[in-house]
Structure 1
Amino acid sequence: MAISKYKNLKEFDGHALVVELNEPSVDLKGFIAIDRKADKFPALGATRLWKYSSEEDAINDALRLAKLMGKKSAMAGLPYTGAKAVLMLPEGGIKNREEYFKVYAQKVNELSGQFITGTDVGLTDDDLKIMSENSKFIIGMDVPAAYYTAVGIFYVIQASLEYKFGSGNITGRTFAIQGLGKTGYELLKLLYAEGAKIFVSEINTDILEQVCRDFPLVKKVLPEDIHKQEVDVFCPCAMSHSVNSRTVSELKCTIVAGSANNQLEDEAVGEKLHKLGIIYVPDYLSNSGGLISVVDQFENKKHNDERILLKLSKIPEVLRAIFLRSEEEQSSISGVADGMVQEFLNKEVRVGVRSY
Structure 2
Amino acid sequence: MARDTELDRLKAAQDLAFQRKQRAYETMQAAWQHRSSARDEMNRAFEAKQRAHEVQEASWQNYQQVKRANGPRIDQLNRQQEAAYQNMRRAFDNASMAYDRRDGAAARSHADDGHAFKAEAQRCVEERRRLVAEIRAARDCHAGPKVDFQRAKADFTAAKQRFDQAKAEHERVKDEFQRAKREFDAARQAFKARLEKVRAERNRRREDKRAIAERAGVPSQYLDDLWVSRDSNGNTNIYFGGVGKPNGPGHGHYVIDRNGRVTYRRNPNESHGSQNFTSSKREQRDGAASLYVRRARTGRSLRGVNEHGGVFYDRRDYTEGEGTKLHVTEYYDGSHVSWDATPSGDVDIHWTDHSVNPGDPVRHVPPPDARFGGKE
Structure 1 length-normalised TM: 0.25
Q: Greater share of helix residues, 1 or 2?
A: 2
Rg larger for: 2
Q: How high is the TM-score relative to the length of structure 2?
A: 0.24
